[in-house]
Amino acid sequence: MYASSLLARFMHCPTNKHYGTAKRVLRYIQGTLDYGMEYVKGRNAMLIGYCDSDWNGSVDDSKSTSGYAFSFGSGVFSWASVKQKCVALSTAEAEYISASEATAQAIWLRFVLEDFGEFQAEATPLHCDNIAAIAITKNPVFHKKTMHIDRRYHFIKDALQEGIINLIYCPTNEQLADIFTKSLAKDRFCYLRDKLGVKSAQNLKGSVEL
């Protein structure tokens, strides 16, 4: 997801380097054609989210990349990897913006689930690996260090106070959204891919031969 999002930013002026990267992505897809998302019946039907961000990852404009993922019972069913619209001055600010974007998605998903009869009575857990960003969210006072942040991102404070989301700290090594924000080593990538519920059909119990 991150690779395709990154390549999409250069569709108007691709270089040979981008073509080479695109070919590598296609080779990965060719080698994982039997992979898919595993959904397990009977799991607890609760919406759970993960949000993360890199910091100043874009060498062109120093903007960061937000990533989030949501699961409902078992595998992930909603995710995104997008470049932020403003330059973050710190990692905490980048994570705060990412959490706000994930909150907007969580609110919409709660509406959709309610239409399907899956009302979410409790606040949606949203896992973030930045303690400072969580502190900013839970502090109702606007300080000088946060006054410059675009006001549209501050609605996360209202969502938290109204019990729509519950921002929870999680260790970086367990942050599933990390895979949507940056390039990772092979072992780390495969670990997070498995945690997201992406598995080979050959390894699933009762799977058919492809």
Give 210's pLDDT tier (boundaries 50, 70, 90): very low
- CATH 3.30.420.10, domain 34-201, yes or no: yes
Q: What residue type is 1 in one-letter code?
A: M
Q: Please report, in angstroms and rounded to a whole number, the separation of the first and last CA atoms in the chain.
A: 24
Task: Look up residue 137 and give its DSSP letter.
Answer: H
Domain residue spans in the chain?
34-201
This prediction has a pTM of: 0.89
What percentage of residues in the chain have a pLDDT greater than 90?
Answer: 61
Residue 60 has pLDDT above 60, yes or no: yes
CB 87 within 8 Å of CB 95: no
Helix axes 131-138, 91-115, angle to 10 degrees: 70
Higher model confidence: residue 17 or residue 151? 17
Say yes or no to pLDDT of 207 above 60. Answer: no
pLDDT tens digit sequence for 129-181: 999 999 988 886 656 666 677 777 788 989 999 999 999 999 999 999 999 99
